[in-house]
């Protein structure tokens, strides 16, 4: 399936595309539970992926990106030219993670993990138990990135507590 638009404002509850392409000049794109293989390009706007289960090649020109990575079925990448990025991963990720940004904020629970290697501008996190795993790579050229843990309830969109 291919979706091409000048402006795309959408909220998709679940997407199960074997192969799909989403491209827009501007917009506000929310996709919950993205499965399969997706190529995504957004020139300007906001992108929110709540529960990535599959393969993604994504590029955002400028804006705000929030992605919860649950399972990566093949090496995947996401680039943001200018803006802010938040990457959330499970407590015990089954994939490798690489994030680079001029300003990088890594939560304490991730930075203190023995599988994590961090600098002020990069994070490398290896999947548990030394298993061979696919890698999710994210790069911010101009802007900031934050890497944090997500809980199982967050992947379902459930908020616990106050």
Q: For residue 99, which of 132, 135, 134, 130 has the smallest C-alpha distance?
A: 135
What was the pLDDT predicted at 134? Answer: 94
Asked if residues 33 and 17 have their Cβ atoms less than 8 Å apart, the reply is: no
Residue 132 has pLDDT above 80, yes or no: no
Within a domain: residue 121? Answer: yes
Within a domain: residue 150? Answer: yes
Q: How confident is the model at residue 129 (pLDDT cuts 50, 70, 90)?
A: low
Q: For residue 49, which of 161, 136, 160 has the smallest C-alpha distance?
A: 136
CA distances from 129 to 18, 93, 132, 144 (A): 30, 10, 9, 30
Within a domain: residue 12? Answer: yes
Mean pLDDT of 66-92: 95
Within a domain: residue 160? Answer: no
pTM of the complete model: 0.90
Q: How confident is the model at residue 115 (pLDDT cuts 50, 70, 90)?
A: confident
Mean of all residue pLDDT scores within the chain: 91
Q: How confident is the model at residue 93 (pLDDT cuts 50, 70, 90)?
A: confident
Within a domain: residue 91? Answer: yes
The residue range of the domain holding 89 is 2-155
Residue 135 has pLDDT above 70, yes or no: yes
Rg (CA), the chain: 15
Residues near 156 by Cβ (< 8 Å), separated by ≥ 6?
Answer: 51
Measured CA to CA, the distance from residue 77 to residue 119 in angstroms comes to 20
Within a domain: residue 161? Answer: no
What was the pLDDT predicted at 153? Answer: 67
Within a domain: residue 162? Answer: no
What was the pLDDT predicted at 131? Answer: 63
Containing H/E element for 33?
strand 15-72
What was the pLDDT predicted at 79? Answer: 98
Within a domain: residue 32? Answer: yes
Provide the number of structural domains found in the chain: 1
Q: At 134, phi and psi to the nearest 5? A: -75, 160
What was the pLDDT predicted at 114? Answer: 85
Measured CA to CA, the distance from residue 68 to residue 159 in angstroms comes to 14
**How many other CB atoms are there within 10 angstroms of residue 141's CB atom?**
12
């Amino acid at each position: 399936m291919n979706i091409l638009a000048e402006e795309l404002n959408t909220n998709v509850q679940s997407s199960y595309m074997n192969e799909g392409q989403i491209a827009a000049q501007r917009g506000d794109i929310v996709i919950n539970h993205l499965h399969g293989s997706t190529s995504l390009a957004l020139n300007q706007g906001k992108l929110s992926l709540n529960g990535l289960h599959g393969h993604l090649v994504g590029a955002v020109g400028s804006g705000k990106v929030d992605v919860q990575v649950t399972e990566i079925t093949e090496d995947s990448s996401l680039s943001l030219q200018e803006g802010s990025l938040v990457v959330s991963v499970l407590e015990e990720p089954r994939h490798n993670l690489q994030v680079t940004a001029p300003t990088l904020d890594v939560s304490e629970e991730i930075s203190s993990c023995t599988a994590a290697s961090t600098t002020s501008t990069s994070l490398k996190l290896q999947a548990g138990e030394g298993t061979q795993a696919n890698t999710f790579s994210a790069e911010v050229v101009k802007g900031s990135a934050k890497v944090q843990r997500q809980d199982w309830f967050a992947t379902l969109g459930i908020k616990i507590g106050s």
